[in-house]
Structure 1
């Protein structure tokens, strides 16, 4: 019986090749989209699960309250980890960590810059690194280093790296005590290429050693792993006020808590001390899109199957007349649907494999089809049969319900409402498609809106270098002088943060008239002379820092946000105290977008302190080509730091990275929206073809009676136009609701404009007309003799 079902199904598919192709391609596209989204979601949901102790690891974080608003940060003081380890038995491991920064690694003639961390000795065990060589205990030697496989290969080639000596930042020699497997891309620590001992950090950076007694120096990270039976919430409650106990007068009212590794990636956004979401929102968004795109493909199948019901009505009548039961007919039509779904699944695998490189590039992922995983095939085939059943259920139950007597007598009519389900399904299709179009336009408008925001500095020709070695620090003034004398550089300066980031926030500020209950938190950037000129800052009052003024060592530049926070006019010349020392305001600049371009600029103070500055910023002369300038800058750099690679970054590229996440979402939304429209148009094309075929005799009669091609085109197109207009009416409130909520997440955002909705509706209408017109015009141009000769 089953064999007969599939034999008949294959004949039916071959008999109607065009409709079969539309069904298979439409379903395959929908399945491919769903599979791609499924792989993406699985990658997101399994983030950090590489670590064996995933469910017991946490980052120690804190909430702080400033001016009545509670903020959350990962930065904590050093003594925190010492007390957690000594006084709280709920912890199995507690490890301090630096931030992930670039450091120079060198072995013989091989030298390059890679990202790494100084971290506690228990970290390799806690994070369950897979050691290829050496031991997890390798960091217990204070002059050691653990490398990942890629860095070990780049440094040593085929040599055995164990016990080899590597020079770090051209000053510290460390011994390789282990090589671990590269961490997968879907871990938060994927960028960490090597680990250095925390004890070494205390030695090479004296200020870190001093920080062991400073509870208010929030400049570090701390990770922890709980004992097997400990609970995150209960332990968080125990340690909540430990920092405040050391400084009861701390106006920020710090609250320490544990943020589990299971939430690092998907639940990373906080508002007023409460988790409000994060990447999980995209997981839900793309999951819903995947389900809807597959639904669109199933709708195509249902529509085309039910539309052709009259063609198969006699077949159903004859089968019933010779004894076929309704369950058998349902089985026959479901087998056809399952065959289409199976062929579509095979095609979808091919489509997914072909499109994965493009999709990985769009999504910034490293996804692949798990060919050898039986669970993947079990889910895939179950998913295929489920899709086939859903797509074929309506046609199966609808076609099998025909009465054989009426069909065989020729009195069977589908009725005036028979096409209503098809129309409803088309409306659903285009409602989803138009909603996706509107959402995509709004995402890109928001990105462009932020990009067009005044950024307060000039990006063109600006490059940055990090002073990782002592050589370049000692030779900075000579290096700067030679650069300026080369003719390829317009200006040079140095600072504690690059112009595209803000590394430090500070408290302890006071001024005349300040509210004593107000605890001021400012971003702080230490700079050298000529900072404003090099960055192209826009002064609204006062002047730049200059070596010509000896008093600038006690001077401040303020951005507009800081001036507004202080609340005084004509601040130039006013005195601001910082940790008890007087500073004079010498200039006010327009806000510089150092942090997120979607948020209000942070109140920031720039202080003249060259010794605290580790970032060199160079402005290339506009009269010289960038290639020529970089070549000469590198030559001069090598004279003053022979053992360090010339690694530079363009400020324009670093600023552009601030939009990477939103642009990625926009590109993925565009990708899915285009496929949704393609699937909808594919079904519309098939449906229009069927309608034209169904009304072929009517068209012939109308042509004989004088109807023009334009009249016939309008007659065949108007029904579809009405369906799209209804879809547009439904999609507008849906899109408005979701996109308005999405925009509200950003402090600095665009407004919803009527033309976005109008453009999406007009676009959908034009796409519909283009899709339907081909079939309508073909039918209208047909010779009426061919359609009427049998009448």
Structure 2
């Protein structure tokens, strides 16, 4: 019996090549999307699970009230760690302070700038690092360092790195006491390429040891591991006043509330608004999961549509089989078998398609995923899912076709009925509702990105290059370096700053001005700069002037941005006195707002001041008359002349600014990918249905042509039903798309509007695609010789 089912199934697949091709390709595309989305969702949902203590590791964070709103900070003051150990130690197994670092690691002639962190020793046990060499106790020595596997190979190749002496930031010698396995891409610490002891950072940075009020600077990260059975929410409630009870009255105005953010929520639930967690990337997990499910559903709809549409073609077969003794169950099994055969063929092609698409998908999604060929769970899920798809997709055809009465079929009196086409019409409407919704969503996402990209930056990023500084040599020889580079024609301007134009590393709350509410707690961005910073980045003044060496009083001068002036309520800001850390400072100018952080959010109040210390970055303006490559080569030569110990690194400001749109652009590309596949699968189904309808109405078309119908008349007749269905789909999809996209846009302060033309474009686009798809079969049928059409049985 099985062999008989197989023969009939293969025979029908071969006999109906076009329909078999459409079904297999459509299902393959849908299943390939399901595989890719499944891998992506698994990667997202398993984020940080590499660490065995995943369910008990927490980050200590705080809610603070600033500028009239509740802000959430991941940074905390240093003494908070000891306070947690001392007063709440019964709830914690480990508490560790951390400071991220981009440092220069050197060994012999090899020098690399790497991202790592300074931690207290217990971090290795907390993160359950897999040690390839040495032990997890390697940080007990304050002059030790642990390297990731890739960094160890970069420095030492195949040689044993243990006990080798390296130098860090050209300040201290450290001994390699361990090598750990590179952390996976879906770990929060995936770019942790080295770990150095916290004591080393503490003793090499005088400002940490000599803080006047250690509770004031929120400059550190604190991680902790809860004891077994401890609940993060319960412990958060216990420690919420741990900082408030220790700070002075001024800082108490911020109403700091300490809480624990579990590692299980770091990646997917990282957004906070007004002191409440508002979700985060989890919304994209559900969004893309539902999108992938819908794309797969479209493929199943195609299968059901084409199978039921061709029911009359197989009605006689069913009648004969019933007449010779087949029971309904056997016919049901036959059709299920055909369905499953087609689905499993599609699954094989889907695996091949997914493997081919995976590199592209990884690049778009910023992942390093691979298909887990050796994982039994993957195969069980894939095959089980295929079985389910086959049963669901084949259920309607199997039970519908097997219900035909043999007597009516063999007498030729069987007709499918006036309502037989209704399920197909409903399914086609669902297909295009999903497709049009995805098209509208794609347009809105890209409009939001474009809207933010067109927002004025407030400075000129063309030719701006940022060079990170890890040592003070360039600062010491600043004038000589600038003179050499200007003389060579490589640059036109050069300046120092505490942070690049696209980031901000410092803020302050110790600001007082005339008529300030004494109960108001504030947080202003502070940017330390050198003379000619403004000329270098090309900022624009609204009032006043720039810093100048001609004015000795500018050392205590301040420049505000428009947001700061507006927040302070200053009508004539130039000349106003502002107290900062109790010292009086004069406002000498006001610059137009510059986008420093998110281009989708409002610009924060900012203060620019002259830095009395070396800046963290050097900013140069490349001479527009010189090629970037030639200019950077000259910059490298001069920098290495004055600072040979530091590797030459640089970032173009416009490229760094463009990275701020990566997440939204990634969403847009994925939405485009889904929309194209949805349209493709829907068009495959319409192509098959149009082909079937044209074939079914061959004799009618011949009669109409004999009676004088034109090709245009026949094209309109065959296309009309599909056009009506697509119009209905557009009407249904518009409110659905509007609701969800309006919700998505609410997360952005600076956002685009949902215009009516977007729905019109999506609808017209869907109509044109439908007409193009249907027209091929419609015109082909209309051009057929009526003599042959009338002979058709």
What is aligned with 2:95? Answer: 94
C-alpha displacement at 1:789, in angstroms?
2.9
Residue in structure 2 matching 1:724, options 723, 726, 750:
726
C-alpha displacement at 1:515, in angstroms?
1.6
C-alpha displacement at 1:704, in angstroms?
1.2
What is aligned with 1:126? Answer: 126
What is aligned with 1:577? Answer: 579
Cα pair 1:79 1:212 within 8 Å, conserved: no
Listed as ranges, the gaps of 5+ residues in structure 1 are none
C-alpha displacement at 1:580, in angstroms?
0.6
In 2, Cα distance between equivalents of 1:210 and 1:197? 19
C-alpha displacement at 1:614, in angstroms?
1.6
Residue in structure 2 matching 1:523, options 519, 522, 525:
525
1:344 aligns to 2:346 (yes or no)? yes
The change in CA–CA distance for 1:604 and 1:661 in structure 2 (over 3 A counts) is same
In 1, Cα distance between equivalents of 2:511 and 2:211? 21
What is aligned with 1:45? Answer: 45
What is aligned with 2:61? Answer: 61
In 2, Cα distance between equivalents of 1:629 and 1:547? 27
Cα pair 1:143 1:197 within 8 Å, conserved: yes
Which shows bigger deviation, 606-615 or 520-529? 606-615
Q: How does 1:647-726 map to 2 (within 5 A)?
A: 647-726=649-728
Q: How does 1:474-553 map to 2 (within 5 A)?
A: 474-553=476-555
In 2, Cα distance between equivalents of 1:776 and 1:110? 70
Which shows bigger deviation, 485-494 or 424-433? 485-494
In 2, Cα distance between equivalents of 1:690 and 1:562? 68
1:755 aligns to 2:757 (yes or no)? yes
What is aligned with 2:199? Answer: 199
Which shows bigger deviation, 131-140 or 205-214? 205-214
In 1, Cα distance between equivalents of 2:601 and 2:755? 21
Cα pair 1:60 1:257 within 8 Å, conserved: yes
1:466-513 residue CA offsets vs partner (Å, 9 max, x unmatched): 110243343333222322332221111111111001111210111111
| DSSP-derived class of the 1:247 partner | coil
What is aligned with 1:257? Answer: 259
In 2, Cα distance between equivalents of 1:156 and 1:96? 30
How well do the aligned residues superpose, as a CA RMSD in angstroms? 1.2
What is aligned with 1:271? Answer: 273
Residue in structure 1 matching 2:588, options 577, 586, 589:
586
| DSSP-derived class of the 2:372 partner | coil
What is aligned with 1:312? Answer: 314
Cα pair 1:171 1:469 within 8 Å, conserved: no
| DSSP-derived class of the 1:146 partner | strand
Cα pair 2:84 2:242 within 8 Å, conserved: no
In 2, Cα distance between equivalents of 1:133 and 1:215? 38
What is aligned with 1:108? Answer: 108
Q: How does 1:199-278 map to 2 (within 5 A)?
A: 199-211=199-211, 214-247=214-247, 249=249, 250-278=252-280
Cα pair 2:139 2:196 within 8 Å, conserved: yes
What is aligned with 2:742? Answer: 740
Residue in structure 2 matching 1:779, options 778, 781, 786:
781
What is aligned with 2:178? Answer: 178
In 2, Cα distance between equivalents of 1:709 and 1:393? 38
C-alpha displacement at 1:744, in angstroms?
1.0
In 1, Cα distance between equivalents of 2:504 and 2:162? 38
1:419-467 residue CA offsets vs partner (Å, 9 max, x unmatched): 1110000000000000000000000000000000011011100011111
1:554 aligns to 2:539 (yes or no)? no
| DSSP-derived class of the 2:269 partner | coil
Residue in structure 2 matching 1:358, options 360, 366, 375:
360
1:607 aligns to 2:609 (yes or no)? yes
Residue in structure 1 matching 2:623, options 614, 621, 624:
621
In 2, Cα distance between equivalents of 1:270 and 1:210? 33
1:297 aligns to 2:319 (yes or no)? no
1:421 aligns to 2:460 (yes or no)? no
In 2, Cα distance between equivalents of 1:222 and 1:725? 56
In 1, Cα distance between equivalents of 2:551 and 2:468? 27
1:457 aligns to 2:486 (yes or no)? no
Cα pair 2:435 2:678 within 8 Å, conserved: yes
| DSSP-derived class of the 1:246 partner | coil
In 2, Cα distance between equivalents of 1:106 and 1:470? 17
C-alpha displacement at 1:404, in angstroms?
1.2
| DSSP-derived class of the 2:526 partner | strand
What is aligned with 1:146? Answer: 146
Cα pair 1:526 1:612 within 8 Å, conserved: no
C-alpha displacement at 1:391, in angstroms?
0.7
Cα pair 2:67 2:523 within 8 Å, conserved: no
C-alpha displacement at 1:543, in angstroms?
1.0
| DSSP-derived class of the 1:137 partner | helix
| DSSP-derived class of the 1:243 partner | coil
Runs of 4+ in structure 1 off by over 6 angstroms are none
Which shows bigger deviation, 724-733 or 111-120? 111-120
Aligned length: 790
In 2, Cα distance between equivalents of 1:372 and 1:149? 25
| DSSP-derived class of the 1:682 partner | helix
| DSSP-derived class of the 1:223 partner | strand
In 2, Cα distance between equivalents of 1:655 and 1:60? 29
1:288 aligns to 2:316 (yes or no)? no
Listed as ranges, the gaps of 5+ residues in structure 2 are none
What is aligned with 1:640? Answer: 642
C-alpha displacement at 1:790, in angstroms?
5.4
Which shows bigger deviation, 454-463 or 63-72? 63-72
C-alpha displacement at 1:612, in angstroms?
5.3
C-alpha displacement at 1:318, in angstroms?
1.4
Which shows bigger deviation, 67-76 or 476-485? 476-485
What is aligned with 2:372? Answer: 370
Cα pair 1:70 1:271 within 8 Å, conserved: yes
In 2, Cα distance between equivalents of 1:449 and 1:234? 43
Cα pair 1:78 1:211 within 8 Å, conserved: no
Cα pair 1:537 1:589 within 8 Å, conserved: yes
| DSSP-derived class of the 1:242 partner | coil
| DSSP-derived class of the 1:500 partner | coil
C-alpha displacement at 1:211, in angstroms?
4.3
Cα pair 2:466 2:620 within 8 Å, conserved: yes
1:130-184 residue CA offsets vs partner (Å, 9 max, x unmatched): 0000111111111111110111111111221111111112222111111000000
In 2, Cα distance between equivalents of 1:547 and 1:635? 28
C-alpha displacement at 1:322, in angstroms?
2.0
C-alpha displacement at 1:609, in angstroms?
1.5
1:6-43 residue CA offsets vs partner (Å, 9 max, x unmatched): 22111111111110111011001000001100000000
Cα pair 1:59 1:223 within 8 Å, conserved: yes
In 1, Cα distance between equivalents of 2:475 and 2:236? 42
Cα pair 1:79 1:213 within 8 Å, conserved: no
TM (normalized to structure 1)?
Answer: 0.99
Cα pair 1:531 1:544 within 8 Å, conserved: no
C-alpha displacement at 1:323, in angstroms?
2.1
Which shows bigger deviation, 5-14 or 431-440? 5-14
C-alpha displacement at 1:763, in angstroms?
0.5
Which shows bigger deviation, 698-707 or 429-438? 698-707
C-alpha displacement at 1:520, in angstroms?
2.1
